[in-house]
Homo-oligomer: A and B are copies of this chain.
Amino acid sequence: MSQSAPSTGPRRAPTMADVAQRAGVSHQTVSRVLSNHPNVRDTTRADVLRAIEELGYRRNSSARALVTRRTLTLGVVACNPTLFGPASMLFGLEEAARDEGFMVSAVTLRRYSAKALSEAIDHLSDWGVEGIVVIVPHRAAVAALADLRLPFPVVTVEGGHSLPIPGVSVDQDLGARLVTGHLLGAGHRTVWHVAGPSDWLEAEARVRGWRSTLEDAGVEVPPPLVGDWTPLSGYRAGQELAGRVAASGARRRSPDVTAVFVANDQMALGVLRAFREAGLSVPGQVAIAGFDDIPEAEFFAPPLTTVRQDFAAVGQASIRLLLSRLEASGMPNDERVVIEPRLIVRSSSTPA
């Protein structure tokens, strides 16, 4: 008769009632202790805390969320989270959220597509997030976002300011002006540009800043080359540019290549390699500048002049914005935070 005694089966986590019983109070008192309600006698509080300790009790978050209608969870959708920028934002954002008592759940997108984005948001939504931060700086993505009617607030990061969605962004335009101005100031006749993919808002803004700086200075605007943020694409663009330098003695239909502003540091690395292979000296024959200030940039050959973005600040600002939306959900919907980037001059742009 192998009588399966109830024994010490996989006993379930203790509940508030268990704690209450052990402490000789009602479950409500336990709840009060846990939520720091003032009207609990000190001795009672101590009893309860001891019982909690002894039982290893932890409040059940689902039950709590059910009744309070708060999950204290925020969602993030991010696009290329292995890149330095997005990763840094994610990090800063998570830290800020945690400080405010929120948990963050992330969904990452391998590549942007309207479908992927909306699935990501659905996924987050299914888990009951109270709001989300979208770090998907595609023009199309932001447009798609505006169409969705979501039951919770959304904040974009680098989402541009053309739509009535609150957002945080670095002033890319300014950053591009800083670099371009710096290069012009060093005496170059004009500045070439290797841009990011044209459907990225950041790429577009950097092109804009670059172009308008040149126009304001009244110098010729060379045709921008286009990459995809990867070192390889920068390398290809670099080969193209190196070819122009070589040919410049012969037929010169476009201005000499003596300065290049590359839209991010990774591509700038590719450009550097291409130039090196072509026997061009940097900054001797051509000055180069990048954008982002990844930790490696300072150690490139030569160290790269670039624009530093305070990604951590972006993450924090986005959380602040999201939380303010959460609290005042009826308020105007177009708050914007713009963070100023900073030019970091290194030797890739300054003739020794």
Interface residues of A (CB under 8 A from B): 10, 13, 56, 58-63, 65-66, 71-73, 81-82, 84, 87-88, 90-91, 94-95, 98, 103-108, 110, 123-128, 151, 230-232, 234-235, 266, 269-270, 272-273, 276, 295-296, 298-301, 303, 329
Q: A266 to B296, alpha carbons, bound, how many Å?
A: 7
Q: Please give me the 4 A-B residue pairs with the lowest Cβ-Cβ distance, nearest first.
A: A62-B65, A301-B301, A61-B128, A231-B299
Given known contacts A87-B87, A104-B105, A231-B296, A62 and B59 CB-to-CB distance under 8 angstroms: no
Given known contacts A269-B299, A299-B231, A301-B273, A87 and B94 CB-to-CB distance under 8 angstroms: no
Q: Which one of B81, B123, B296 lies within 8 Å of A87 (CB-CB)?
A: B81
Closest B-chain residue to A66, C-beta based? B62
Q: List 5 A-B contacts (CB under 8 A).
A: A56-B151, A61-B71, A61-B128, A270-B299, A300-B301
A103 touches B123 (CB 8 A): yes
Given known contacts A66-B60, A231-B299, A295-B266, A104 and B103 CB-to-CB distance under 8 angstroms: no
Residues in B neighbouring A273, C-beta threshold 8 A = 299-301, 303
Closest B-chain residue to A12, C-beta based? B69
Most B CB atoms within 10 A — which of A56, A71, A128?
A128
Residues in B neighbouring A107, C-beta threshold 8 A = 94, 98
Closest B-chain residue to A265, C-beta based? B296
Closest B-chain residue to A125, C-beta based? B58
B91 touches A103 (CB 8 A): no
Q: A73 to B272, alpha carbons, bound, how many Å?
A: 44
A94 touches B108 (CB 8 A): yes
Q: A7 to B102, alpha carbons, bound, how many Å?
A: 32
Q: A136 to B325, alpha carbons, bound, how many Å?
A: 34
Q: A71 to B98, alpha carbons, bound, how many Å?
A: 19
* Nearest Cβ on chain B to A32's Cβ, whole angstroms: 18
Given A62-B63, A234-B299, A296-B296, 18 other A-B contacts at CB below 8 A?
A59-B126, A65-B65, A81-B87, A81-B91, A91-B108, A94-B106, A94-B107, A95-B110, A98-B107, A98-B123, A103-B127, A105-B105, A105-B106, A106-B106, A231-B296, A269-B300, A276-B301, A300-B301
* Nearest Cβ on chain B to A70's Cβ, whole angstroms: 9
Most B CB atoms within 10 A — which of A61, A98, A123?
A61
A82 touches B87 (CB 8 A): yes
Residues in B neighbouring A266, C-beta threshold 8 A = 295-296
A73 touches B105 (CB 8 A): yes
Closest B-chain residue to A80, C-beta based? B91
Residues in B neighbouring A84, C-beta threshold 8 A = 82
B108 touches A105 (CB 8 A): no
* Nearest Cβ on chain B to A104's Cβ, whole angstroms: 7
Closest B-chain residue to A312, C-beta based? B82
A63 touches B66 (CB 8 A): yes
Q: A90 to B83, alpha carbons, bound, how many Å?
A: 12
Residues in B neighbouring A72, C-beta threshold 8 A = 127
Residues in B neighbouring A270, C-beta threshold 8 A = 299
* Nearest Cβ on chain B to A249's Cβ, whole angstroms: 26
